[in-house]
Structure 1
Amino acid sequence: MLRAIIVDDEELSIKRLKNILIDSGEIEICGMFLNPVEAYEFVKSNPVDVAFLDISMPEINGMKLSGLLFELDASLDVVFVTGHDNYAVQAYDMSAIDYLLKPITTQRMSKTLDKIRKKLRVSSVEPSIAIHLLNGLKLYRRDQNKAQIKLRSPKTEELFAFLVCKRTVSREEIIDTLWSGLEPEKAWKNLNSTLYYVRKAISDNKAVHCIVADRNEIRIDESGVYCDLYELERLIKKIRLAPTNNAELFEQAEALYTGQLLKGKAYEWASAPMRQLEQNYILLLEAAARLHLQRSEPLKSLHYFGEILKLDALREDVSHEMIRLLIELGRRNEALRQYRILEATLQHELGTKPNPSIIDLITS
């Protein structure tokens, strides 16, 4: 069953839509909200497949809310529900899967559910291209040969990386980011020609359909590709929902994170998402270390604390935890070695010394 939320500022409309969806036998209603902010907070920590959003709501309307929800989960399906028919074009510009006019009938809802089922069938097809953005940028065909796909030029690579990272982006934003120094006409021409060469590189592969473009925006259809970044982000989201039950997911995430996002590529626009992803991954490693501490598995905790320090050697609190665990395990020489590493790092980078309480652990 698909998990759905309903957001509408009219309680009667929510009840009617709820009854239709429940009667379909395909939808599980996991939340009903009169307040869009409450719906947004719910989706932050709960998995949702479909959001039925009223468009005309005070403060945060359905259009704005859909954008916020897509930022949380780009795979979420949105169905707009409204009493007015003058929002249709804007609704489809927002990548909505459907647009329903009130009063909604069972017959009309069945067409919406058909669209959702069709999308799910497409999503179930095995992606034929693999995109690796972690520790560099590489594209492979997911066939027996696993041949690497070569892009025409550095700018072609950057455009493709930008599209994959952004998932959905307006043509104006692409031009402002990648061709900001050019005259508008030339910038648009460069975008179109570069996009052509991206598509040509994968044109003998079904993955060409993963790039969906119209006059206003370009997006990546995630169902058409495997991407290590997307997989890692999905794992991080799963772990956040139930961190104490996901020891195996921690291991999967560690295997996926082979290096920084687009490592070796000097893309100015990539620095912020790279830092954000690294911070999210560090939080994941810390959660894994804490989980194994709770389970009395100090060796596994040591491993995850060590991985954190590889990414952020200035984490004095993490070094403290490692030293404490090493001493508890009777590995005092290793604890002292870890302290010396911390001492040298802090002196070199910050001109400071470790907290005296850390050396007290070793000498006590």
Structure 2
Amino acid sequence: MKILVLDDHKSIVDDLIYELKEIMPDAECTGISEPAEALALIKDHSYHIAFLDIEMPELNGIEFAKKILAKDPRTNIIYITAHSGYAVECFKTYASAFLEKPIDRDELVDALGHLRFPVSNITDEMVMQEFSGNSMIGKRIVRLREESGMSRQDFIKAMGVSAQTVYRWENGERIPSMATYMKIMQVLGVDIDKML
């Protein structure tokens, strides 16, 4: 999980990152106290969560949030401020939470547990590896095909695809589309629970 903390008071940034590391030791936290530096950073990086102070010189947190969301609309924005009067305006950016300083640990934990866009530790790379033919899908197709007594040639004919396509499915070079996956289940006579 990648987290950005932006507040023009470095001590607040340091304290919040300390708390976040206590709560989520595996999180990758970046703390910045200069809004201009943060603007340059978000051009090249995306974050799952951004903790933003509202009152900062040069650019306020709400305007900063709009810039983050324009690049990555699934970023969870959590505002941190000493002034509760900003709450209504903040939620116009569909914030995940609004925390008043000093930040209470229980409120921080609650905010992290109720994100607008929940964050998973499962990466795209992990999904691709798990569902590649060398791991799950390919092996399962082979196993279910063999359990049904169907040869590879029979399977190719029933699917109406080339031998190369089936080879790629079974060896992890390709993942069938959802529609194709449904046809595979039909041809093998299995339901989705057995297939997955």
Taking structure 2 as the reference length, what is the TM-score of the superposition? Answer: 0.57
Number of the residue aligned with 2:92: 93
Of residues 114, 118, 121, the one that matches 1:120 is: 118
1:31 counterpart SS class:
strand
Number of the residue aligned with 1:17: 16
Separation of aligned partners in 2, 1:90 and 1:97? 13
Q: What per-residue deviation string (whole Å, max 9, x for no partner) do you get for residues 55-112 of structure 1?
A: 0101101011001111111111110000111011111111111000000121111110
Number of the residue aligned with 1:215: none
Separation of aligned partners in 1, 2:28 and 2:89? 26
Matched AA of 1:78: I
Pairwise mapping of residues 138-287 of structure 1 onto structure 2 (< 5 A)?
Answer: none
Task: Tell me the CA shift for residue 37 of structure 1.
Answer: 2.0
Task: Tell me the CA shift for residue 31 of structure 1.
Answer: 1.7
Number of the residue aligned with 1:80: 79
Separation of aligned partners in 2, 1:107 and 1:121? 19
Contact preservation (8 Å) 1:4, 1:27: no
Give structure 1 regions of 4+ aligned residues with deviation exceeding 3 angstroms.
none
Contact preservation (8 Å) 1:77, 1:97: yes
Distance 1:121 1:49, change over 3 A: closer
Separation of aligned partners in 2, 1:88 and 1:54? 12
Number of the residue aligned with 2:133: none
Number of the residue aligned with 1:289: none
Task: Tell me the CA shift for residue 30 of structure 1.
Answer: 3.5
Number of the residue aligned with 2:47: 48
Contact preservation (8 Å) 2:77, 2:97: yes
Distance 1:43 1:27, change over 3 A: farther
Contact preservation (8 Å) 1:18, 1:29: no
Q: What per-residue deviation string (whole Å, max 9, x for no partner) do you get for residues 293-339 of structure 1?
A: xxxxxxxxxxxxxxxxxxxxxxxxxxxxxxxxxxxxxxxxxxxxxxx
Separation of aligned partners in 2, 1:121 and 1:14? 22
Task: Tell me the CA shift for residue 121 of structure 1.
Answer: 7.6
Distance 1:78 1:27, change over 3 A: farther
Separation of aligned partners in 2, 1:121 and 1:81? 20
- Greater RCO between the two (CA within 8 Å, min separation 6)? 2
Separation of aligned partners in 1, 2:28 and 2:58? 24
Q: 1:7 and 2:6 equivalent?
A: yes
Q: What per-residue deviation string (whole Å, max 9, x for no partner) do you get for residues 105-135 of structure 1?
A: 211111101112x74289x9xxxxxxxxxxx
Contact preservation (8 Å) 1:3, 1:27: no
Task: Tell me the CA shift for residue 26 of structure 1.
Answer: 5.7
Separation of aligned partners in 2, 1:119 and 1:69? 14
The answer for unaligned runs of 5 or more in structure 2 is: 123-196
Number of the residue aligned with 1:157: none
Q: Which moved more, 1:24-33 or 1:96-105?
A: 24-33
Aligned residue pairs total: 121
1:86 counterpart SS class:
helix
CA RMSD of aligned residues (A): 2.1
Contact preservation (8 Å) 1:6, 1:32: yes
Separation of aligned partners in 2, 1:7 and 1:29? 14
Separation of aligned partners in 1, 2:56 and 2:119? 33
Number of the residue aligned with 2:107: 108
Separation of aligned partners in 1, 2:119 and 2:40? 29
1:120 counterpart SS class:
coil
Pairwise mapping of residues 48-67 of structure 1 onto structure 2 (< 5 A)?
Answer: 48-67=47-66
Taking structure 1 as the reference length, what is the TM-score of the superposition? Answer: 0.32
Separation of aligned partners in 2, 1:50 and 1:91? 15
Number of the residue aligned with 1:284: none
Number of the residue aligned with 2:175: none
Task: Tell me the CA shift for residue 12 of structure 1.
Answer: 1.0
Number of the residue aligned with 1:144: none
Matched AA of 1:81: I
Separation of aligned partners in 2, 1:51 and 1:8? 11
Matched AA of 2:118: L
